[in-house]
A and B are shown apart, each in its own frame.
Chain A
Amino acid sequence: MSSLSYLVSRLLQIIPTFLLVMVVIFLLVRMLPGDPAIAMADAKATEAQLELIRQKLGLNEPLVMQFFYFVKNTLSGDMGTSILLKAPVLDVIIERIPVTAFLTLYAVCLSILIAGPLAFVAALNKNRGLDIAIRSGFQVGLSTPVFYIGLLLLTFLAASLRLFPVGGYGTTFLQHLHHLMLPALTVALYTSAIIMRNLRSAVIEVLDADYVQFARSKGLSRSVILGRHVLRNALISTVTLLGLSIGNLMSGTLVTETVFAVPGLGRLMLEAIFARDYPLIQGLTLTFAVMVSLVFLFTDMVQAWLDPRLRLS
């Protein structure tokens, strides 16, 4: 099987899950008391405008048909009009995706840079002082809400020391890196705390593995053993764990965007909720689900790339 057909089959596997995702999102708005058309429209909408929405959502037809319309509209890119921003939901979302994607990717990279080396150090010093210190640190981190981490960084690094801007996104790539440094660090610290424990055991497992012991019995230098035999195997665990915690990571992103006023999807979601902008809420919920699925897919592919046993030839 080629990697292309692997990709295709993986995409096909997602379809049933996604239909259910659509059901959940569809039901979300129907859970509201009263006429969904009113929920999906501006408070000042005229009866004619409401009727138009009813038509589009098929509200006069049975629920199954309504769902069918919902899927059809969504697939054709029509997710309604945002009440808050008075613009098509799809446009609004597409405009914000790069910010959140940038922040997420940035956070993933920082998580690898934070959790990876620390897990290594902890594993190499198993049950000694340094290991215990690192583990305790992350246990405290695990009990710290992400908005509080963000607030601490904001207060000390941005507001007091003025090392970083207090919010925003910037326009050039370097500005993005600078502006999003603290938000990404916030999410990364939180994510690292989540994956640290498992990552440490994974590294310990690799260090004890027969193939590492065998490599040592060959008289290889420590740097070759760690760099070649341990690192890559540990990286696979890191990718797996990060993939599994992507839901957490995205939840963290949502909160962090609010704390740092980053104009991304997460902040938009909160704005939408306070404005009771249901078309936008629907669209955003779906977008987050798509992003998580893409990350799952991406994780699979990275694993296949790192691990020859998964590479189908």
Chain B
Amino acid sequence: MTQLDTLQATTPQKKKLHPRVKALLRPGFLLGFFILSSSILLAVFPWAFAPYDPNAFDFNAIQKSPSWAHPFGTDNLGRDTLSRVIWAYQVDMQIAFFATFFAMVIGVVVGSLVAYHGGIADVLFGRLVDVTITFPFLVLVIAVVAVLGPGLTNMYVAVTLVQWVYYARLTRAEIMTQMTSDYASAGRVMGYSSTRIIFRHLLPNATTPLITYWMTDMALAILLGSSLGYLGLGAQPPQAEWGVLIAEGRNFITTAWWMSLMPGIAIVVTGLGFSLVGDSLADVLRPRGAS
């Protein structure tokens, strides 16, 4: 039998890439990663990439269609659309972060507390979820914006006020499944504080779905942010934001279609970047064996 064991141990193992590493080499992830890193570069160093001053009027080049000099054309005031789209990265990448991050933090804290302590808090939370899903998301957000007034900061507040419930719901569900596990009950028996059990034992297991959801949510935040910008409730006009740019071009859609269509491409590409990376991360971080 020992012979058998050694024989098995020495059966040549083909050198293979770890499946998680392999998942990261898929075209979907590579593309997403490329898009995201470029977006971040464009957001941080817009001046390095933008060929023109985004706000410089050029009355000799009004509503010029795309050309080598102006790949995305120019707007009704002769501003270079490409440069404006590039400078807008700053704003929209910010939106992706600020419209999601605080909601996530609040949601994670509330969700874990509710899951851990249960009881009346959990019942109330269940009701809150019912109410939240009874409103169309956008209706609730713009109703809050209506009260606070338009603008980016108010938009962050409005989105956070609504969106944290979804994060809390996700966290709660994840923690509830973890709660039944042995180490959680063991921790309770040992008399660990609830904070310690939640943050050391329960939450780490909820990170995968949370990160995946966060990635998707950042893509959605860009869509929402640009929608509000388009509707006039988000970023306000002098500020270059993709939705705002599209709205500015809307009146010229028949004569200068590029004004509206070009910024949209930036939205689609960036959104795609987030969702591609999110999907691949979901595959990579998912416990092995599950499908």
Contacts and interface: CB of A to CB of B under 8 A. Distances in A.
Does chain A touch chain B in the assembled complex, meaning CB atoms less than 8 Å apart? Answer: yes
A101 interface: no
A28 B267 contact: no
A139 B275 contact: yes
A145 B227 contact: yes
A205 to B, nearest CB: 12
B186 interface: no
A220 to B, nearest CB: 29
A246 B145 CA distance: 22
Contacts of B268: 140, 143-144, 148
Dominant secondary structure of chain B at its interface with chain A? helix
Contact of B243 (A145, A254, A284): A145
Contact of B223 (A143, A273, A276): A143
Interface string B99-139: 00000000000000000000000000001101101111111
B227 A146 contact: yes
Contacts of A249: 136
Interface string A234-278: 000000000000111111001100100000000001101110101
Nearest to A254: B138
B272 interface: yes
A278 B250 CA distance: 28
A141 B30 CA distance: 20
A226 B224 CA distance: 38
A231 interface: no
Interface string A78-90: 0000000000000
Contacts of B140: 24, 285
Contact of A29 (B131, B147, B226): B147
A32 B136 CA distance: 22
Contact of B146 (A144, A145, A281): A281
A281 B148 CA distance: 13
B264 interface: yes
A142 B271 contact: yes
A152 interface: yes
A176 B264 CA distance: 29
A12 interface: no
Contacts of A258: 231
Given A20-B127, A151-B260, A269-B139, A145 B134 contact: no
B179 interface: no
Contact of A273 (B136, B233, B243, B274): B233
Interface in B236-262: 243, 246, 250, 253-254, 257, 260-261
Contact of A17 (B134, B264, B269): B134
A275 B274 CA distance: 36
Interface residues of A, number: 50
A255 B227 contact: yes
A264 to B, nearest CB: 13
Which residue, of A24, A143, A270, has the highest number of chain B Cβ atoms within 10 A? A143
A274 B232 contact: yes
B285 interface: no
Contacts of A155: 253-254, 257, 260-261
A159 interface: yes
Dominant secondary structure of chain A at its interface with chain B? helix
Interface string B140-164: 1011111110000000000000000
Contacts of B271: 142-144
Contacts of B272: 139-140, 143
A281 B143 contact: yes
A21 interface: yes
A147 B246 contact: yes
Which residue, of A21, A145, A258, A273, has the highest number of chain B Cβ atoms within 10 A? A145
B82 interface: no
Contact of A145 (B136, B226, B250): B226
Nearest to A292: B134
A289 interface: yes
Given A31-B147, A147-B227, A251-B137, 19 more contacts: A24-B131, A139-B276, A140-B268, A143-B268, A143-B269, A143-B272, A145-B264, A146-B227, A147-B226, A152-B264, A155-B253, A155-B257, A247-B133, A250-B136, A251-B136, A255-B138, A273-B233, A278-B146, A289-B134
Interface of B: 127-128, 130-131, 133-140, 142-148, 219, 223, 226-227, 230-233, 243, 246, 250, 253-254, 257, 260-261, 264, 267-272, 274-276
Interface of A: 16-18, 20-21, 24-25, 28-29, 31-32, 139-140, 142-148, 151-152, 154-155, 159-160, 246-251, 254-255, 258, 269-270, 272-274, 276, 278, 281, 284-285, 288-289, 292-293, 296
